[in-house]
Amino acid sequence: MTSYYRLLGVPEGADPSAIKGAYRNLARQYHPDHNNGHPLSERRFRLIAEAYDVLSDDEKRLKYDRFGASALTRRGSEPGLVGNVQRLVTNIEQALESRMRQVRKRGEDRRVVLDVSLDQAVLGASRAVQVRRRTRCDRCQSTGAEPGTSLESCHVCTGQGRIKTGSGLLAVENVCPFCESKGRIAPSPCSGCEGIGEQERVLDLPVQVPVGAQPGRRLVLRGYGEPGQAGGDAGDLFVELSVKPHALLQRDGSDLRCSVPISVAEAVVGGEATVPVLEGGTVTVRVPPRTRSGQTLRIRGRGCPGSTGERGDLLVKLEVETPVVDTAVALDLLIRLEQVSFHPERAEFRAALRRHLES
């Protein structure tokens, strides 16, 4: 725990008037109302107010001077050996916690999902992902001080950034809570970054979608994850690809598939069908006479790039569509069509059915 006397900048034997004067000066400087509600000023003002609350009260100050801050939050404090052991344990815990804060720690990785179209996944594309990231504050040049003002040495740690309390086995060194280990403070914090020296911005990071990328593939942007602690490296940003379905084309390994409806007349006498291709535009395929519904045509080299670099094929499935007609008008035409038509598959089925019944 930082000394309350240090927080107010007065010696331990200071009289009440000196304590009150020091508090008034600091409160006037760091009161949130004087700093537009700045969070950093609020934290510092709470520390100052806590120190003054104890040192301005004779009973609290006496307990604090004899047993430390723990005497103000517990029912009492054990004097002598027991009290020393308790303070030793507390100091060890604080030392371990402080040491943990000093250890470099790599930042956590982040994950975002990037939606890409089928053609972008198959043919490759340059895209961008948006991430929120803390970057250097241009307003204060990362100093944390409002432009036109300067930094001052922290009066609590005298510019060291750390505070050592106790001696011998009871000694412990902690991060200064007032300047948060920086050693210097900004009396007028930067309004652009709230005195932190960094701002959170939305960055557009370029991403290269590789040729033939599969759904779920993860791309890595090194160093764009969460920032590290105590100088540790930042984590990585993993970009997971999500491939949006195409309105007409479906992926099948290195091939592409497309179902094209054709009329009964086109199926009987043949014709042409227009088929979309992944690069944009269309190609025309010939529908052969006597096409059966479900028959597949193959357009070579219009599919997806394979592992060897060669592209697969575009498989076109022809679906014969039963027309929607006015029965009264079409009845005579259908009867005449039936009279001049021959259905070999139906004839073969009926012959097999007769043999089945005769056996």
CATH 2.60.260.20 range(s) for the chain read 108-151+186-245, 250-358
DSSP 46-61: HHHHHHHHHHTSHHHH
User: Is pLDDT at 220 greater than 90 in this prediction?
Assistant: yes
Query: How does pLDDT run across 119-169, given as a tens digit for each residue?
Result: 999 999 999 999 887 777 888 888 888 898 888 888 888 888 887 766 665
Fold of 108-151+186-245: HSP40/DNAj peptide-binding domain (2.60.260)
Q: Which fold has domain 1-77?
A: Helix Hairpins (1.10.287)
d(C-alpha 112, C-alpha 124), whole Å: 19
- SS3 call for 127: strand
Please list, in sequence order, all residues whose beta carbon lies within 8 angstroms of the beta carbon of residue 299, skipping any fewer than 6 positions away: 275, 283, 285, 313, 314, 315, 316
The pTM for the full model equals 0.58
CATH 2.60.260.20 for domain 250-358: yes
Decide which of 221 and 323 is more confident: 221
Q: CA dist 47 to 11, 116, 160, 177, 191, Å?
A: 17, 51, 18, 8, 21
For 197-219, what is the mean pLDDT? Answer: 90
Which pLDDT score, from 0 to 100, does residue 81 have? 39
Mean residue pLDDT of the chain comes to: 82
**pLDDT tens by residue, 80-124:** 434 444 444 455 455 555 555 556 778 889 999 999 999 999 999
